[in-house]
Structure 1
Amino acid sequence: MKVKKALVFAILMAVMAVAVVGAQTVTITYWQYFYESKVKLMDELIKMFEQQNPGIKVEQVTFPYESYNQKVAASIPAGEGPDVINLFYGWLPMYVKAGYLQELPPNEFNKAFFEKNYYNFVAESVEFNGKYYSAPTAVRTLALIWNKKLFKEAGLDPEKPPKTLDELAAYARKLSKYDGQGNLVQAGLAMQPTGQGHNWIREILFRQFVNTPYSKDYRKVTYADDKGIAAFRWYTDLIVKDKVGYPNFATDDVTAFRSGKAAMNIDGSFRIATLNAIKDLEWGAAELPSHNGIKSNYASYWTHAIVAGVSGKKLEASVKFLKFITSPEVQELWLQKVGELPANPSLAVKYKDNPVYAPFFNGLAYAHASQFVDEAGQRTILVDAVDKVWLKKVDPAIALREAAAAEQKLIDEFWKK
């Protein structure tokens, strides 16, 4: 009898212990869009975090990129969203004005913190109306990538990519191939405004032609002056006059380069892991070509934020998770597994001699990250301007002025709300 009582007592104590542990466990949800290497790494990171924080569980939920913002808009206002969310930095103003995000705890994430741990362009673009709303793990920038085999076939030194825009245009013409009817069969330079082309125009070419695309507060569009038009015309001339490439050639710029149908491309550091995995692809990366001694680059990033309404133990757990996934250790893992660059500039030193990583890291030193009020809308306006030139034969000056007017209207409407 005593044995039975002891057994029952032991069972009751075990059940109570489990109940207490369960009551003490906090579960938070993390959302990001589906990108295989990021999702796999995040699964690994969550296991590491949970081991270090036994009272916290993290559930990762992913959605297709195409429907991500729609899911956010439908879920967060209804109280069915995540606790921690991953978003493109260019969406931050839209997310804040929509009430999706809360300010990060100022005692943990403030101006001094960002200036110490991040590149300047990050510190500037995670702030909105004097408050900080997000922190990234990694950043991306652009470089010129080239196919060394196609360089050899064209009689070019495979170890010497073009260093200036004039050289780039000359190389592109030499590397382009056509069939008997004059149709392009090998692009000397991929021209994909829906890829990184729109960023190349906005953040690099405009600035290299001595134009500043926006006012300091990003509320005025200023790229449609004579210098901006000259930059835009240089870009579109490669398509309509030199015919070294055109939008959607061989499906898109990434597909064309991967399949050996494009000799050069402007692409991001996030492409490193993909290109390294392609058998027999001999490729190189170099800093973007300069123009009249002017260098420029575009930096972007996906960043992590805490959703509005998260409080109490969930908020504490979310802050811990956010600090973990933005730590220097995780930033190093992100570079190795995803190919995106550490957001902390102090980590760049060890890669200064790496032939693949170094050009991307070097570009961060002079990169820009414009603030958007509607990144998708502003991107579409510039892409449409290119389409007007090459599909509808509109003069580049007219197309760019129309784009500037359309974008100005979009920006004005955002700030009137």
Structure 2
Amino acid sequence: MTRTLIGAAAVALLASTQLAAAADTTVTMIQCGDTLAEGYDGFIKEWEAKNPGYKVSVEIVGWAQCQDKITTLAAAGTPVGLAYVGSRTLKQLSESDLIVPVPMTDEEKASYYPHIVSTVTFDGQQWGVPVAFSTKALYWNKDLFKKAGLDPETPPKTWQELYDMAKTIKEKTGTAGYGLTAKTFDNTMHQFLHWVYTNNGTVIDDEGKITLDSPQNVEALTWYGKMTDVSEEGPTAYEQDELTPLFNDAKVAMIEQGPWVRVRVNKDLNWGVGPLPLGPQAKGPGTLLITDSLAVFKGTGYEDKAADLAKWLTNPEHQFFYEKTHGLTPLRPVPGVEEMVKADPTWKPFLDGISNGGPEPLFTDYKAFQNAMIDMVQSVVTKQAKPEDAIKKAATEIEDYK
């Protein structure tokens, strides 16, 4: 009789355990890329242990399809709980009522480098949690500098020096002095924005006024077009990453790229990396600040848990591990950053530009904004329009995309 009771109790306990397991809420998440981010497997298990009754299911979606799939699911009323998105999409997702705010405390905001929180903020609220960050610096080929009679240890510090050195290299060596991006691709806009933020310019101010056609930006576009004469042939055929192989093959002397390129440069190449050259109106080193974010989608019923998971995955300790693993610019000045720069000084230029950098502008129709900016750049690079005319046209166009 006792054995029967014990057996029945065991069966009941097993059944209740199975029922509890079946009742676990699944927090769905989409990560863009090829594999789960390094460290996330362990971080997620830790979060699940801290949040009994919740399990995380991650789907990996390739970069080319990722953003479209996330948006399509949300628009169809079957949203994923948490997703990796380009921060540039946040305003459009919010205006479409597809995501919820992920508020930050003052302490959380203060933990980031300057202007980082601005990349996910509009209407006074944060709409995503920064998860990846990139800045740019100037890579130069020291051997080509030397061959052209230039000091191989001294990169250009201003736009004028950049142009003059690129011109000298092209004339003396027959090699393109600078890699210019002008392809119909998103990073053509990004590359131009580096010129905006190294000349104290903006695209849209805090009150929502379009400032693209400012004197600083006309100056930036003028110089961007001028660089065509000292760059590779046919810059409209090249996006940013297609210039890296040219740099590796010593076919261009200078390119502007992110920190991940440091480990992709040809080992036989004699190269250096320094801050982006500055325009006449610059107040100090600058760069475009691009972030990707974890966005919490509306309508799952567990938005609060998805937001908690997003902050857990990106807390200072976890985030810095992720950044070191993937070669990304750190989002926060955590203690390990100083140690990282000391161990590898080539990191320094990617951090120096942050204080005077600017965020990627947030527009409701970010693709239309992006296309208007690319058209503007291409019209000047191909000499089909004057910089002042092209920038006024673009400023009028993007007014409709705010």
| Band the TM-score falls in, shorter-chain normalisation | 0.7 to 0.9
Where in structure 2 are the equivalents of 1:341-380 lying within 5 Å?
341-347=329-335, 348-353=337-342, 354-373=344-363, 374-380=365-371
Q: Pick from 277, 280, 284 the counterpart of residue 289 of structure 1.
A: 277
TM-score (norm: length of structure 2):
0.84
Q: In structure 2, do the counterparts of structure 1 residues 230 and 35 end up closer, same or farther at CA, with 3 Å as the change threshold?
A: farther
**Amino acid of the residue matched to residue 301 of structure 1?**
T
Size of the aligned set, in residue pairs, is 393
Q: In the alignment, is the contact (CA less than 8 A) between 1:249 and 1:256 conserved in 2?
A: no
Aligned to 2:245: 255
Aligned to 2:160: 166
- CA distance in 2 between partners of 1:257 and 1:400 (Å): 30
Aligned to 2:69: 71
Deviations 1:279-334 (A, max 9, x none): 434443211112346332111111112111233xx345323311211111112212
Aligned to 1:26: 25
**Amino acid of the residue matched to residue 32 of structure 1?**
Q
Aligned to 1:242: 230
> 1:238 Cα shift?
1.1
**Amino acid of the residue matched to residue 82 of structure 2?**
V
Aligned-residue RMSD, C-alpha: 3.2
Deviations 1:144-195 (A, max 9, x none): 122344444444444332222222112222333799xxxx8x4321101446
Q: Say which SS state the counterpart of residue 327 (structure 2) adopts.
A: coil
Q: In the alignment, is the contact (CA less than 8 A) between 1:142 and 1:298 conserved in 2?
A: yes
The percentage of counterpart residues that share the same residue type is 23
Q: In the alignment, is the contact (CA less than 8 A) between 2:283 and 2:356 conserved in 1?
A: no
> 1:69 Cα shift?
3.3
**Structure 2 gaps, min length 5:** none
Aligned to 1:62: 60
**Amino acid of the residue matched to residue 159 of structure 2?**
L
Deviations 1:62-109 (A, max 9, x none): 3333333332332113332211112111111111011111122x5xx3
- CA distance in 2 between partners of 1:44 and 1:168 (Å): 46
**Amino acid of the residue matched to residue 94 of structure 1?**
Q
- CA distance in 2 between partners of 1:131 and 1:47 (Å): 30
> 1:335 Cα shift?
1.9
Q: In structure 2, do the counterparts of structure 1 residues 272 and 86 end up closer, same or farther at CA, with 3 Å as the change threshold?
A: farther
- CA distance in 2 between partners of 1:192 and 1:363 (Å): 20
Q: In structure 2, do the counterparts of structure 1 residues 402 and 46 end up closer, same or farther at CA, with 3 Å as the change threshold?
A: same
Q: Say which SS state the counterpart of residue 247 (structure 1) adopts.
A: helix
Q: Pick from 369, 375, 383 the counterpart of residue 384 of structure 1.
A: 375
TM-score (norm: length of structure 1):
0.82
Q: Pick from 209, 214, 223 the counterpart of residue 204 of structure 2.
A: 214
**Structure 1 gaps, min length 5:** 412-417
Where in structure 2 are the equivalents of 1:70-89 lying within 5 Å?
70-89=68-87
Deviations 1:31-60 (A, max 9, x none): 132255x64554454345446656542222
Aligned to 1:298: 288
> 1:197 Cα shift?
4.4
**Amino acid of the residue matched to residue 390 of structure 1?**
V
Q: In structure 2, do the counterparts of structure 1 residues 264 and 195 end up closer, same or farther at CA, with 3 Å as the change threshold?
A: farther
Q: Say which SS state the counterpart of residue 206 (structure 1) adopts.
A: helix
Deviations 1:370-389 (A, max 9, x none): 43213332222121122223
> 1:15 Cα shift?
3.0
> 1:207 Cα shift?
4.9
**Amino acid of the residue matched to residue 67 of structure 1?**
Q
Q: In structure 2, do the counterparts of structure 1 residues 118 and 390 end up closer, same or farther at CA, with 3 Å as the change threshold?
A: closer
Task: Confirm whether residue 191 of structure 1 aligns to residue 190 of structure 2.
Answer: no
> 1:366 Cα shift?
1.5
- CA distance in 2 between partners of 1:29 and 1:78 (Å): 16
